[in-house]
A and B are shown apart, each in its own frame.
Chain A
Amino acid sequence: MTEVTSQEINVHEKTPVDMGGAETTSGGLRFSPLVDIWENEQGLTVVADMPGVTAEGLSVDLKDSVLTIFGKVVQEVPERRSLRREYEVGDYYRQFSLSEQINQEKITAAIKDGVLTVTLPKLAPAQPRKITVVSE
């Protein structure tokens, strides 16, 4: 009989966003957040890890079937001496192309404990329409 052991979390180092040589104007770092995306009959759900991002610093945008998520991290720089630095702090940015038809008006986004959840409801499937052929 096997004992059910809960899964241990692996370390993921943050992946800097490839800007294709371009730099951010603010000079800050920009990371690609880890995401989970799942789909059911109602729609798509995108969940992204963006620790340090508040609702004010968040922007979610859908344009031409491209979903863009951006999270600004405001970093306070107190007078402290760093003893150990295992992770870097920076903004989050990632884009996805959506193949599904999304009901743009019903998109919702929420952020809690550094996790962004975007729900993208699908458009009602197109009703099959009977086309009458008129013979002349």
Chain B
Amino acid sequence: MAILRWRGPGFGSPFQELERMRNYMENAYSALANGVNQLRRNYTGVFPLVNLAEDEEKLYLTAELPGIDAESLDLSVKNDTLTIKGSTKSEPAASEVNYHRRERELGNFRRSLTLPVKVQTEAIEASFKNGILTVTLPKAAEARAHQITIKNS
């Protein structure tokens, strides 16, 4: 049996009204948060920007490094931290030519990033193709998800 009966035309329960307000605020907040996330996903402000993906066995890191001197690329892993270093190829000096536009960035870079799981450091592979660096990092045995078989007794 209902103790309170507030239902009438155009007049909801006060709790319904509070619930409605709460939902409204939550929606407003999540819309705002989504908007910010779309603009700045995991923005760190350190070159190069990276994408990281995984499957059961490995982590895959990619970075766009156009014009990077492959010889200068240096990758190292210490504990859970991967560090990428390198530098770009040089261009003609401003004294030799007249620049109309200069938007590309030249110089050195260094970025460290913490890996989400332990990896087998000795089995890391890296390739540089068409200006994209791909690093494949096999997960350490303890970081892999174990499939547990359920015995049917």
Interface residues of A (CB under 8 A from B): 6-13, 34-40, 44-45, 47, 49-54, 78-87, 113-115
Contacts and interface: CB of A to CB of B under 8 A. Distances in A.
B42 A115 contact: no
A74 to B, nearest CB: 10
A115 B131 contact: yes
B96 interface: yes
B52 interface: yes
Given A36-B101, A39-B97, A51-B65, A11 B45 contact: yes
Interface of B: 41-55, 59-60, 64-68, 70, 87-88, 91-92, 96-109, 116, 128, 130-132
A49 B130 CA distance: 11
B104 A50 contact: no
A49 B101 contact: no
Contact of A79 (B55, B70, B128, B132): B55
Contact of B108 (A6, A37, A54, A85): A6
A18 B59 CA distance: 34
B47 A36 contact: no
A113 B43 contact: no
A114 B106 contact: no
A118 to B, nearest CB: 13
Contacts of A87: 49-51, 64
B108 A80 contact: no
B70 A113 contact: yes
A84 B52 contact: yes
A128 B65 CA distance: 48
Nearest to B86: A9
Contacts of A44: 100
B96 A80 contact: no
Contact of A54 (B92, B109, B116, B130): B130
Contact of B67 (A49, A53, A85): A49
B78 to A, nearest CB: 19
B46 A34 contact: no
A87 B52 CA distance: 10
24 contacts: A6-B87, A7-B106, A7-B107, A8-B109, A9-B88, A9-B107, A13-B49, A36-B101, A36-B103, A39-B98, A39-B99, A40-B98, A49-B67, A49-B104, A80-B55, A80-B60, A81-B54, A83-B54, A84-B42, A87-B64, A113-B70, A114-B66, A114-B67, A115-B131
A11 B46 contact: yes
